[in-house]
Amino acid sequence: MRRAYKFRLRPSARRHIALTACVESHRELYNSALQERRDGWMHSKTRIRYTDQAAQPTEIRSVRADVAVWSYSSQQATLRRLNKAVDGFFRRVKAGGKVGYPRFKGAVGSTLLNGPKMVMAPAGIRTARGCTCKASSKLRSARTAKCVGE
């Protein structure tokens, strides 16, 4: 049984900056992985899958310290979310339904963070196992999160 909870976040200014940086880092990962899939298909008709991209965060974390700060499992969950979007696209193409290729996430609309396990989110915000936390698109004004878990 799935239950939904809506929590009111009241982060301090420092924690708000950390949460914004986390969302930005995941948005950058999502967009770069989508660009890699798109370029692979356009240039050499190669379909890049989740298994091909799953090991890349380890390499990126060794080079970039700003990315290594965030949870590895949440980064993998971001790649899984992209894989789910691309799989949905190909499923709709096959079924002949309304087709829409996954879009790149903008700075305002990208607020979804996933964590498949107990994750220490930025600035001490904990999420439970299997929880998806979605901060509102207007972080400064509303500062709410919707968590959906088991």
Q: Tens digit of pLDDT per residue, the chain (150 long)?
A: 667 666 677 888 888 888 888 888 899 999 999 999 999 989 998 889 898 998 888 899 999 988 888 888 889 999 999 999 999 998 999 998 888 899 888 877 555 566 544 344 444 444 444 444 444 444 443 344 444 443
Q: Is this model's pTM higher than 0.85 or not?
A: no
How distant is the alpha carbon of residue 22 from its chain centre? 10
Tell me the C-alpha distance between 75 and 10, whole Å.
Answer: 24
From residue 7, alpha-carbon distances to 105, 109, 131 in Å are 24, 19, 12
Report CA torsion sign: 54, 130, 108, 62. Answer: negative
CA distance 89 to 71: 28
For 120, phi and psi rounded to 5 degrees? Answer: -90, 100
Amino acid at site 4: A
